[in-house]
Structure 1
């Protein structure tokens, strides 16, 4: 239960806090963009079974692989894609914490 609370807090509330502190001028838009990056989880639909409670997403699903994460890091280097990159990287950190929690 506690893991679920942390997981969804990190997916919804933490992006809001990051948007507020670092993108204050347009924090609502930044927050919505970061929430929209959860569409990266559509790659779970390619897995069989689609949902497995104890499966680590990192380096299993296509958009959660290490090369993809490096690509998200590259996106961070450009101002126009920085908010998207922050959302994607935060998503990967959150899923990585889940992997650690499951051990």
Structure 2
């Protein structure tokens, strides 16, 4: 009988990143919990068949049950995500009327 080799997250190839490996990437201070919440929310919306533009990308692969992404996937998401104030926000209380 051949011995079973168990792989860990430390055995991931350098071009694949798990949630922890994505921290500090994408042009901003993303923490592991931020990546987790972005991924969980985007997955729920995809499962409900109502994804939004700018959602966190689907994992490229799974390492056991851990989602992993290619660097290029995350970099493309970061460059195409909407910036600050893209949602429009709350309308102003007193609208000015310009003549």
- TM-score using structure 2 length: 0.28
- TM-score using structure 1 length: 0.27
- Bigger relative CO (Cα 8 Å, ≥ 6 apart): 1
- The structure number with the bigger radius of gyration is 2
Normalized per residue, the structure richer in strand is 2
